[in-house]
Amino acid sequence: MTVADFLAWEPPSRSGALWQLRDGEPELMAPASDRHGSIETELAYLITTHLRATNRPCRIVAAPGVVPAERSEDNCLVPDLGVTCTPPTGAHLMEHPLVLIEILSPTNVSKARANVRAYRTIAEVAEIAVIHSSAIAAEVLRRGADGEWLLQPDIQGPDGGLQFHSIGFSVPLHEVYRTSGLA
């Protein structure tokens, strides 16, 4: 299946389940756990509050569709959250994603890591975060000033902070986990 086919496709069940396209095959995504959903909601709130307070023309989107440059005809991936500074278009795909965020659950580690590698091929993406759901921990991959990805992610633990330089966002990491039961 191509991305165009996938975007026009009607899943077999209209249950509201979330799907992504990986290597030409539709892939059903499991519902988020309570903890995963709490982390996602808290992070979306914190980023939205920051974007409004700083009057940035950016917005955060839950479960945006993004197409990596590598095998772009066969892949439409769905991160947990994405930030773009373009106006909404009503399309199924996020235009010009700037920050992409995956929340890592014990059941999705390999697929989430594969998605992160694919996100690195999207030219506009400046930062990719992997937020853990079993411990207070985050990894942020960033492009350097030369546009190349830095070799090592910024890894933070419970006493650290989460920063997205591209949107001027910074928050103590424990704030992201405020309602997760981990903080």
> What's the pLDDT tens digit per position in 83-132?
999 999 988 899 999 999 999 988 889 889 999 999 999 999 999 999 99
Q: Rounded distance, CA 62 to CA 139, Å?
A: 19
Q: Is the pTM of this model over 0.85?
A: yes
In this model, does residue 178 exceed pLDDT 70?
yes
In this model, does residue 80 exceed pLDDT 80?
yes
In this model, does residue 75 exceed pLDDT 90?
no
Q: Rounded distance, CA 102 to CA 32, Å?
A: 12
Q: Are 139 and 153 in contact (CB under 8 A)?
A: yes
Give me the percent of the chain exceeding a pLDDT of 70. 96
- CA distances (Å), origin 71, targets 31, 41, 133: 26, 31, 29
Domains and CATH numbers, the chain: 3-176 (3.90.1570.10)
Q: Rounded distance, CA 26 to CA 136, Å?
A: 31
Question: For 137-141, what is the mean pLDDT?
Answer: 98
Q: Quick one: tokens of 143?
A: 């492009």
Residue 72 CA from chain centroid, whole number: 18
